[in-house]
Amino acid sequence: MTLRRNATMPIESAKALLRQAGLRCTAARVAVIQSLSESTTPMSSGEVSDDLAEYGFDKSTIYRSLTELDESGLAVRIELGESVRRYELLPVGQKESSTHPHFMCISCGKIICLTGFHVDLVADHGPDKLPVELTEVLLKGRCDTCC
């Protein structure tokens, strides 16, 4: 098992999450959980691979681990269009999709978690039921460096 120094999430906590989700504790899964836990924004598979480059996992292993974490409910996959998939850990005990909206800067492409905010969709006329199921909210605009 590879040890990650200075990781925010202790290796034992990452293992406990995996066990609770019924997944085997592999070095790659533990490292991916630690990598996600250190990030304040959702990460793409490539970013996780770069972050863990020193450990020599191959990209497909990282991608598979992210998919498994998503399927087991430990992480959530966020589709940000143009096939940009990013992943973030779900708070312990929370199932299904991400609760906070995400923001994408149209100038630099930066993704920001809008933690602590929510978006209400209000019908213009009367109590209309949405004809669709919302799985995530993505807002676009300019970040504070770009505006």
53 scored as a contact of Zn ion (CB under 5 A): no
What lies within 8 Å, CB to CB, of 115 at 6+ separation is 100
24 within 8 A of 6, measured Cβ to Cβ: no
119 scored as a contact of Zn ion (CB under 5 A): no
27-38 vs 59-71: helix axis angle to the nearest 10?
80
Q: How far is the CB of 127 from Zn ion (least distance, A)?
A: 30
Residue 121 identity (one-letter amino acid): L
143 scored as a contact of Zn ion (CB under 5 A): yes
106 scored as a contact of Zn ion (CB under 5 A): no
112 scored as a contact of Zn ion (CB under 5 A): no
108 scored as a contact of Zn ion (CB under 5 A): yes
Among 25, 104, 105, 138, binds Zn ion (CB under 5 A): 105
Structure-block tokens of residue 132: 């669709």
SS percent in the chain: helix, strand, coil, step 5:
30, 15, 55
β-strands 138-141, 102-105 pairing:
parallel
Nearer to Zn ion, 19 or 140 (CB): 140
- Binding segment for Zn ion (CB under 5 A), chosen from 5-13, 25-33, 108-116, 130-138, is 108-116
Residues in the site for Zn ion, rule: CB under 5 A? 88, 105, 107-108, 110, 113, 143, 146
